[in-house]
Structure formats: C-alpha cells, structure tokens
Structure 1
Amino acid sequence: MEDFIIWLPLVLLALAALMPLAAALLRPRAARGRREADMALYRAQLAELDREREVGRLDEAGHRAATLEVQRRLIAAAEQTEGEAQAGRGAMAALVLLPLIVAAGVGLYLLRGTPGLPSATYAMRAEVQERDERLLATLRERLAALDPRSEQAWQGYVLLGNAERARGRPEAAIAAWRTALEARFDPGLAGEVAETEIERNAPAAAMPWIERGLREAPNDPRLRFLFGLAELQAGRPEAARTAWQALLADTPADAPWRAMLTQRLSSLP
C-alpha cells in the first residue's frame, strides 16, 4: 500500500509533464505541411523585398528580378500536394502512445532503478574533477613528447582544446587549437578559434582566423556568419549587414540556419 501511495503521484506527475506535448499534438497548426510553410515563407520574402525597395536598399531592377523569382517559387509551392491526413493520423497515434510511454518508463525504473542510491557527494565530484585534471596533464605531457607536425599531435591538440573549452577555459582551448593550426591549417578549426574569441568579446583576434579560413573555404556558411558577427561586435553593423545579406542570398530556403540568420539581420541597428 505504501508503494502505491508513493508511485501514484509519480505517475500523475509524469502524465502532467507530457500534457504540453499532448496539447501541441492536438493544436491546429497555422501552416499545415511543407506546402503551406513554403508559401508563408515566400509571402514574407515578398513583403521584405517591398520594404527594402521603400527604404532605398534595393533598386527597381533588383526588386523586379527578385520579386519574379520569389513569385515563381510561390506558384510552384502552391501546386505541390501533400498528405495532411497522414500527418493528422500520426499525431493521434502519438497521442495514444503517451500513456504507454509513461507506463513503460515507470516499469523500467521499477526493474532497473535504484531510488535508494544516494547522490554524489561534493568529495566524490571533486575526486572526479581531480581525475580529469590528471588525464589532461597526462595528455599535455604526451603531446610535448610528440613531433608537433605529426598527425597524432594535431589530433591530440584538437582534443585538448575541446576539453579545455568544455571545462570553461577558453584561453587554454585557443592555445591548444592554435598549436594544431600551426602544424596544419583547417578552416573548421579556425572557426572554433574565431567563435571562442568572439565569445570573449575579442573580434580583432577572431577576424584573422575568419579571413584565412574564408580564403580556403569561401563558401563556408559558418565562417561567413562569424565574419558578420565579428564586424557587428567591432561596431560595424553595416559591414555585418552586407556580409549576412550575401550569406542569406546563398542560403537554401530549407537551410536550418536561415531563420536564425533572417532574425539576426532584422535585429541589426
């Protein structure tokens, strides 16, 4: 009886935690399906083109060409067909499964869980941290004994930089990554250095890495975004706008970062 009194509130709490998901599944969507989402996006792009022309950032010829292209995409999206009924049935099936998920979770915990296990003490956490520090010290010692130009050393310094950054030591992370970059330049790793420098509010230190990375990978969207971010942080919003507008023009409509980029552009002063 005591177990029932304990577990019943837990089950009810689990069901309550899943209620927002159930509400989201039942809520009618404003743009149902890929076709409607695309059409909403293209209509927003048309409105944005009109605003750009009104403020003088887009001439008539550019506005006309861009409008025709967006209208073409809008018409193509309107002609698409999509099985919305299948999506609705999928949502209902997921809704039916929610109580089963709760029951399965409780059952697994009853079989495998250890509610009587005490939480880790401060001494235990400190011991784990000390062990990690010893591992990092060992890694540094082994890297010091390697040829810094070797591939093994390159991978080791990248790993060391990742570990230092995860532990909240950006200066040490940058130092490790720079050692790797001196042996072999990599645009992606240069982006890590630049992003960390920007996080430290040091755009002047980030820009050389971004520019060098773009010379080797001129179409890299992350480096192009970081270029605009460094310009913005350095107090040059117009340069950031130019960089991000060019990136937006090259960004596919279904790119996962497009919405974020559009939002950053709209927030520029």
Structure 2
Amino acid sequence: MNALKLMATELFILFLASLKGYSQSLEIYTDERGNRYAAISSKGMVAYKVENRSENPNFRKSIQLFKFTSTGQDTEAEKDTDGHDIYVYRTTRHTEVNNECDKKVAGRFIISPVIVDADGEANAAKMDWATANGYLATARTTDYKTDSYAVSKGCAMYCGKDGKDEPGTWRVPTRGECALILIFYKKMEERLAADGFKPFSLPTEGSGTYYWTATEKSGTSNEVWSMVIFPDDQISSYALSNMYKSKTDKSYYLRCIRDIPSE
C-alpha cells in the first residue's frame, strides 16, 4: 500500500512540477443567479502557460451532431425543425505533447460541485471517454487527429447547479487543468461543503476514484489520461494516470469545468 502511495505521489509531482512556483489560487465564484462554485485562477502564471479559452479559435471546433448509440454504428444525424443538420461546439481532440490544448491551462474556470453522469445530471455513474466528451462512440478507437461527430452527452449536457446554464458551456478538463484540480481539491471540499460541493473520493471505490480528462495519450489511439484520487482512510494521495486501453475499455467518472472571464 505504501508503494502504491509513493508511485501515485511521484506521478503527481512529475506532471505538476512545471505548474508549481507560479501563482494559482482557489476562489469562490458566484454566478449571475447566485450559484457558488469553486474556481481556480491562474492569474500570475507566466503568459505562455495560460489562455482565455473563449478567444482561442482552435480550442473548440464546430462538429455535426448525431444521435447517440452505445456502439457508434448505424447512427442518424440530428436535424433542426427545418430539416437542417445541427452543428455544436466541442473541445478539439488533442494529446499532451502535440497540441496547444494541453500545453496551456484556462486562465480561470469553475468546477462542477458533483459527479456528472452521461446525460449531464448529478449522478455518480461511470461512462466511457467518448461519451464523457460528447463524441460519437467511434472516437474511442481513433487517433486524436481523426474528426469525430458529436452527441448530446457528458459535460456538454451539464447545465450547472440550477440547471440553467446553456448546454455546451461546460466541458471535460484537460490534463493540465486536472493537475490544478488535484492541487486544490481538498480545499474545495472544505470550503464549499455547506454549498453542496461533494468529495472527489468515493468510499465505494477502494482502489481510487478515477475521472476522465479530455487529453488523449500521445502515440496511441486507445489510451487517454485520467486523474485518480484515493480515499483518505487507505491512501492519502492522488495522481494523473493513463491505463492500457483506457479509452476503449474503461469506464470512469466525470467532473466538468466551465471557463469564466478573468478578472
């Protein structure tokens, strides 16, 4: 058990070394309807590590919306009331080394206070990576350079604490953004427990609670990065991880984030 804790800690240090030493902070953000969220601000970090995601035309991409199936086969395009194809925005597929999506982090973002299920509801239910990101199931087995159709699933369907946010405004965090979440997750739980912010570690997941990131593993079409948080009564630790065939074979939980304007 101690060896596992050490391994997880070493992985965490490896991927967060470039982030520590700069100025990140945990804040409480209140939206226009009075909902309180944990927010991470990277104000003060060196400029090349931070960006306003809404101003980067390459971070999100307009892709066609299809009906969801568990296999991705024999799918049908969604149509509007006039019979036209529907297009929605999704985070651009990327790896940890070959794309700017994961070389930078959002300047300021809020974190969902609950685990989100495949339909965007507050529910501790697992799903595959493609569903979490709002992609058709075929994205599970293709390279990050392959265009993917969209489905109305995962973070794209989460609409905030009161259910009034516009669909598509929440997204799956990148690997770099998950690294920031791991720095502050305990403080989030402590400061916002009274507002319904739920713990990241689930007592039923003795081997650690795994969450999806949006970042695919470089050099493979079937692996993706995740973050894992271990229960305090067994291993007080956390890590960024990639498991063999995780994209094709694994089902993990989902916490979503939403970009907000930097102050």
Relative to the length of structure 1, the TM-score reads 0.20
Is the helix fraction higher in 1 or 2? 1
Question: Using CA pairs below 8 Å that are at least 6 residues apart, which structure has the higher relative contact order?
Answer: 2
Relative to the length of structure 2, the TM-score reads 0.20
